[in-house]
Each structure stands twice: as C-alpha cells, then as structure tokens.
Amino acid sequence: MLTSRCVLPVAAGLAEGPCWWTERQVLLWVDIEASRIGLFDPATGNNDFLHLPAHVGAVVPTSVGDLLLATAAGLMRMDPSNGAVTLLSDPEADRPGNRFNDGKCDPWGRFWAGTMAYDFEPLAGSLWRLDGDGGIKRQRSQLTISNGLAWSQDRGTLYFIDSPTLSVMAFPLTVAGEIAGDPSICLHIPEDWDALPDGMCIDAEGMLWIALFGGGCVTRWDPLRGRLLDRLALPCRQVTSCCFGGPNLDQLFVTTARRGMDPVAVKAEPLAGGLFQADVGVKGLPADYFQVLG
C-alpha cells in the first residue's frame, strides 16, 4: 500500500478540485464552502488564498493567464493578481438550490463542470460544457452529485463519476470531442466499502486514480478491465480529489475534508481537511487549460 504525507494542515471544511498550474509551479485547489481558492507552492510550503463572493467547486488556468471558476453563482473568470471576477454564464440561475461541483478542461481546451443540489436532491444536477467562445451547452442531465472527470490519452473516451452510482461511466467521443452515445460502466466501487467515488484523474499509463470519500484512500484502477491496481492510504476518511503535479508531474496531490465532523472525530483525524502529497511511482499528464477564443 502506498503512503502519503500532509504538506498543508489547513483544516479545510471541504477542500476539492486540485489542479497543477505548470507556469507558476503551484497547485490550485478550492475550499468550497469557505468560498476561497488556494495556491500552494510545494517548493516552499507557502499557500495563498483568493476569496470569492460565492461557493467555488472548481478552478482551472486559462490560456491567457487568468483563472476560470465554477461557482454557486455560475461560471466566472478571475484575475489572480487582484482577485477581480467577471461572470461568464449562470446556466442554472433558475435553480438557486444548486451549485457547481467538480470541473475540468478537456484536451480541446473546453471546460466541463457539473452541478448538484445543496440538499443532495436526486437527479437535480447536470453536466455542462463551456467553449472558448463563451457558448455553453448541457451535456448530461439527471445527475445527483456530478464529480470526477478524465479523458483518455487517445481522446476517445470521457470518464465521469456521478458519486451515488458508485460507478465510473465511460462515454465514447468523436474526433471533435463530442459525446457519441450512451456510456458504459467501466468500473464499480463495491458497496461494502462504504465509500463514494469522488474526484478523479488519469496517469500517463491510462490508469484512473479515484478519491474515495469515506474510504480514507485514493485508489488506482485499470478502466479497461475494471480492476483495482493500488491504494494510497490517508489518515482521514473524507478524501475528495487528486491530481498529478510537481516539476516532473510525478507527485500525486490529494485534497481532504472535515465537513460535518464533531470534535471527537477531529481529534481522531487531526489532519482531516489537509492537503497531502505522495510519490506513487508513476507520472501524470499536464492539466489542460481553458482555451480562450477571440
């Protein structure tokens, strides 16, 4: 079993959405319900926060050097030099009980982000795609907790998690990156693990790394065979997401949470809500950026 180390004991309520920003050599991550973005420098151990006017589910860099955000008030751009935000689109303005959750850019430079209801209402969420020209289109509806996203290296498959299904769906894609049909189930988390699949990333060997909320670990899977390959243990149960980073993309960064934990639970898991790092013996892929057109 692989092991990790806590590199930022920040005690976040709901840390999520790690994304490696290559140009700045920092890890972007979000603390959802604290409405803030973290910029963590693993070389120095320093972390800076940028604050937002709404809960934030995901953050990614853009091709022009600023940040794209998925928030409870819609999709926004942020200037990281001064924290100024600009609203791009709020496709679920008619659903104030929803917020954006996980999001990621595809190899074509488009941003995919899913929504969920604050009260976890079944089938209340959707998966959206924002294109570089500002157009936005619903890709999937009737989701409950839209979560992890990853694309195969041949660009032929989108992997996607709707957490309560305990499954990873594999959507076939056209050469232009459009969903080309109904998904298949490529792997399933056993119900007796008492854990939900949460955030996800893919490594340079095409294997999926899936954070297990309630499971205290990140698991590595072969999506073509549905086979569990490895497990990275963490000293807290609420493991939320993961991504590869570092100068050589050979470090796995993992976010965790302490949401809903009482003092007894926090005493048992004092590092809950921290940011973790691990050498897992395999490299990841560079994060795709949002390609701004025009």
CB 210 within 8 A of CB 168: yes
Residue 148, token pair as written in the block: 């992890």
Q: 205: which strand partners? A: none
Residue 244, token pair as written in the block: 């590869």
CB 74 within 8 A of CB 63: no
294: pLDDT strictly greater than 80? no
Over residues 46-96, the pLDDT tens digits come to 999 999 999 999 999 999 999 999 999 999 999 999 999 999 999 999 999
- What average pLDDT does range 97-101 have in this prediction? 98
Q: Check if 279 is active-site.
A: no
Catalytic: which of 66, 102, 198, 203?
198
C-alpha to C-alpha distance for 215 and 169, rounded to whole angstroms: 20
CB 18 within 8 A of CB 27: yes
- What average pLDDT does range 203-214 have in this prediction? 98
C-alpha to C-alpha distance for 126 and 141, rounded to whole angstroms: 4
C-alpha to C-alpha distance for 239 and 209, rounded to whole angstroms: 12
175: pLDDT strictly greater than 90? yes
CB 287 within 8 A of CB 60: yes
Query: Residue 2: which pLDDT band, with cuts at 50, 70 and 90?
Result: confident
C-alpha torsion angle, residues 80, 83, 86, 92 (rounded to 10):
100
